[in-house]
Structure 1
Amino acid sequence: MIKFFFLAFESFRFAGQALRENMLRTILSLLGVTVGIFSIIGVYTMVDSLESNIKNSLNSIGTNVIYVQKWPWLFSNGDYPWWKYFMRPEPKYNEFKYLRDNLENAQAGAMMDFAGDVTCRKNSNSINALCQGITYEFNEITEVPIVNGRYFAQQEIESGKNVAILGATISEALFPDSDPIGQTFKMKGQNITVIGVQEKKGAQIADFGGAPDEKVIIPFLTHKRIFSSGELTGDIVFKGYEEDEGLFELEGEITGLLRTKRGLKPSQEDSFALNRPEAAAQALGQLFGTLRVSGFIIGLFSLLIGGFGIANIMFVSVKERTNIVGIQKSLGAKNYFILFQFLFEAVFLCILGGLGGIALVYLLSFLPLGSLDIVLSYGNIIFGLVIASSIGIISGIIPAWQAARMDPVTAIRSK
């Protein structure tokens, strides 16, 4: 072990000496490695940050859930006529109640509908909001974090009371100087009483289901009375049990019950779509995987250029230190000592270049990019250093092997 540390120390000393003696040459050669690592780790970091942001947004519409809707989120069959989807009926409130009462593999179910760009007013204050109508178990499908006030009572939902839970932005705009709980505001000519305010979430790249901060949540029946003249249609969602992996049992049960409710014959196609956030996440994951591969390939070209530069440095270094290698071997230095010495130098130089690229990515994380937070993960740092080390080994192995195979007598006479 002591011998190994001595060998590493000697190799580090020689590498530092080479760096100091040929500073400009070394820096120029390291630029390729720096740019390559910056390209690869920069793309990986951006994609990881974007993927995390979008997945967090997908989690806001529920996990381990199935949505019953008219339109599919993903069209797996491009030849399927669009008009067949258009002719499908919207999911109805009585269908929701039928499924809720008969499903055995669902732990919670809710129905919802949306109305966009709705003007809310309180005295001289006004703001446009996304109004969402929900049934009682909605907070079991996805989290509704209340920081002030409370969630709906079941009686308020079932009787269609004019009560609402406000997003943080809506609350601040309508009630800037007072506690909104118990106060009323106008929406579509109706007086709505505030019973709760959601925790401020902030903007995201993609807000599936609407930005929570800019949303007004009211009972489903209230929503249909105000915006749809009592037409009880919307989106149905059910949350499955954890032990139902893949939600295959819940999906099969929903399909069978809803086909029965709609009177579909065995030969007829489903007149509804079962959508899952996980499916959308998988499709996005494939896209992000393609972006990672593209970024790696682009960065690889810069790394190859940097690798040739490092190899050139090492060949020159071997030639300049031929006499020293001969003296070391005549004093008993083994071939592996010489090999490790030059190989360590190549790896050390590439790691320096890699650290420069990683530092540039880290500085990139301080740039203001709106709702996208760039986070350089430890995994990407390690990945970048591993790539840099690999380039160092590939670039330095031939010059190091050449130095290790030198004849000591011929090497000493070379000067």
Structure 2
Amino acid sequence: MLALRLTFESFRFALDALKANLLRTILSLLGVTVGIFSIIAVFTVVDSLEASIRHSMDFVGDKVIYVAKWPWTFGPDYPWWKYVKRPVPNLREFQALQRQLGPNHKGVAIFAANGSNTLTAGSNSVGDCAVQGISYEYRIVSNVPIAEGRYFTNLEMDAARPVAIIGATIAENLFPQGGAVGREFKVRGQKFIVIGVMEKEGKKILDTPSNDSNCLIPFSMFTKMFALSTNGMGGPSASLGVKGRDDDPGLMDLEYEMRGVMRNIRGLKPREEDNFALNRPEMFASVISTLFSRIGVIGAIIGGLATLVGGFGIANIMFVSVRERTNIIGIQKSLGAKNFFILFQFLFEAICLCLIGGGAGLFLVWLITLLPQDALPLTMSAARIVLGLLISVAIGVVAGIVPAAVAANLDPVIAIRAK
């Protein structure tokens, strides 16, 4: 109990010392403020940039394997003309995959898109829109967030009904008064009825496909309006997507099974190489993680240098503080103050300085996150706030331990006589 009371008294002495030298306190914590601001601002920007890029890549889905003509990554020394000769996936292969794949998947979808379309409704029109034909299980493979209305039914898919789910930007331009569900619009002379409106995604940092300017229609209706390319060199071509199960994180079983089924569908002999590509979003995720881990290290070094300068400033001020209060230290020790009481007094002062400076740095970063950002919204996570405070405490301990130890080990007789 006595030790706790003495510790509290040390803390109170530290606060009194900071208040007594307010100008010096402010000047001392500026270095820590700049240091914490630098390192947390860098981490915040890196985190926000990584989150925005990952959000931009959401259209590829999660735990999905895509069957396509072209691979997303090309290996070295691979003849490009072998890719050109490959066939593109088609409706027959989609139906065969649905029948032959085992229980290692949650859904199989076929989809194709045609860009740069103009949609009209009365006197209103919106251009540069993508019309995408999808099968019923597309919502399992890819995210289709419905804000108004509903998703397609199996009957609408099979019967090639002229119904559509449109993006938020399309709805705002075609039907500015609202109430898009149930209304009609035209694309390429074909009338469609809106059965759903997707949630607004907003601007993405990468120019990747966005649902805001996307119009989803049944795949069977899409093939009536657009001629699918058979070689993938001109016009829209189909792609197949298979959603893996949650209990198969590596998707190795699914990929192995899909390769066998596709080889069987295309009649490939055992010695023949694959004439299709199995693409996975993890290819992008691993590249993004590696890139931003390196950027984070560089940012930590830059911020660390600024923080180091602030730590030297705190250490210098603490030595000055010990010298100014040497006489008081001697009086305290002559009255029975223990060494740890003197040590904690100066150590707490250094930590308080750094915490105030660190808090000010975090506050400045938070102010920056309030600035309106379209493509790159900045968000400071709770983990970064805790990191900033921990770094502040660490700086205070490192910068204050030596001056505090010097103060604690002063001889009381010599200290009292100091001027």
TM-score by length of 1: 0.92
Structure 2 equivalent of residue 33 of structure 1: 32
Matching of residue 335 in structure 1 with residue 339 in structure 2: yes
Range moving further from structure 2, 79-88 or 375-384: 79-88
CA contact (8 A) 1:33 1:353 kept: yes
Deviation of 1:106 after TM superposition, in Å, equals 1.6
AA at the equivalent of 1:289: S
Q: Which amino acid aligns with 1:329?
A: K
RMSD over aligned Cα atoms: 2.2
2:94 to 93, 96, 104: 96
Deviations along 1:317-355, one digit per CA (max 9) or x if unpaired, are 111111111111111111111111111111111111111
Q: By how many angstroms is 1:277 displaced?
A: 2.3
Equivalent AA in structure 2 for residue 176 of structure 1: P
Partner residue in 2 for 1:151: 151
Corresponding residue for residue 348 of structure 1: 352
User: Is 2:253 aligned against 1:263?
Assistant: no
Contact 1:106 1:241 in 2 (8 A): yes
Which residue does 1:303 correspond to in 2? 307
Instruction: Note the 1:39-50 alignment, pairs <5 A.
Output: 39-50=38-49
1:41-72: CA deviations, max 9, x gaps? 11212222233333344445432221112233
C-alpha deviation, 1:287, in angstroms:
1.6
Query: Could you tell me how far apart the structure 1 residues matched to 2:2 and 2:300 are?
Result: 39
Show the 5 A alignment for 1:218-233: 218-228=217-227, 233=237
**Residues matched between the structures, number:** 412
Residue 115 of structure 1 corresponds to 114
1:399 match: 403
Between the aligned partners of 2:79 and 2:361, the Cα distance in structure 1 is: 50
319-328 or 149-158, which deviates more = 149-158
Aligned residue type for 2:113: F
* Equivalent pair of 1:112/1:236 in contact (CA under 8 Å): yes
Which amino acid letter does the alignment assign opposite residue 68 of structure 2? Q
Higher deviation after alignment, 241-250 or 295-304: 241-250
1:80 and 1:202, CA in 2 relative to 1: closer, same or farther beyond 3 A? same
Whether contact under 8 Å (1:89, 1:271) holds in the other structure is yes
Whole-Å separation in 1 of the counterparts to 2:372 and 2:286: 28
Query: Residue 324 of structure 1 contacts residue 412 of structure 1 at CA under 8 Å; is this kept in 2?
Result: yes
What is aligned with 2:233? none
* DSSP-derived class of the 1:127 partner: strand
Aligned to 2:180: 180
Alignment of 1:243-392 (within 5 A): 243-392=247-396
Mapped partners of 2:132, 2:178: distance in 1: 24
What secondary structure, in the 3-state scheme, does the structure 2 residue paired with 1:164 have? strand
Structure 1 gap segments, 5+ residues each:
none
Bigger shift: residues 226-235 or 83-92: 226-235
The correspondence of residues 190-201 of structure 1 with structure 2, limited to 5 A, is 190-201=190-201
Q: Cα offset for 1:259?
A: 1.7
Q: In 2, Cα distance between the equivalents of 1:230 and 1:88? A: 12
Q: Which amino acid aligns with 1:52?
A: A
Cα displacement (A) at 1:375 = 1.9
> How far does residue 386 in structure 1 lie from its aligned partner after superposition?
0.5
Name the amino acid aligned to 1:191: K
Task: Choose 262-271 or 398-407, whichever is displaced more.
Answer: 262-271
**Quick one: percent identity of the two aligned structures?**
52
Residue in structure 2 matched with residue 52 of structure 1 by the alignment? 51
Where structure 2 has 5 or more consecutive residues not aligned to the other structure, the ranges are 231-235
How far, CA to CA, are the matches of 1:58 and 1:343 in structure 2? 48
2:410 aligned partner, one-letter code: M
1:176 is paired with a residue of what secondary structure? coil
Secondary structure, aligned partner of 2:254: helix
Q: CA deviation at 1:401?
A: 1.1
Kindly tell me: are residues 2 and 59 of structure 1, through their superposed partners in 2, closer, same or farther at Cα, counting changes over 3 Å? Answer: farther
Say if 1:169 and 1:213, in contact at 8 Å, map to a contact too.
yes
* Structure 1 residue 5: Cα displacement: 4.3
1:216 maps to: 215
Once residues 147 and 323 of structure 2 are traced to their aligned partners in structure 1, the CA distance between those partners, rounded to angstroms, is 71
- 2:22 equivalent in structure 1: 23
Instruction: Please give the residue correspondences for 1:75-90 in structure 2 after superposition, counting only pairs within 5 Å.
Output: 75=74, 77-90=75-88
The amino acid that maps onto 1:101 is R
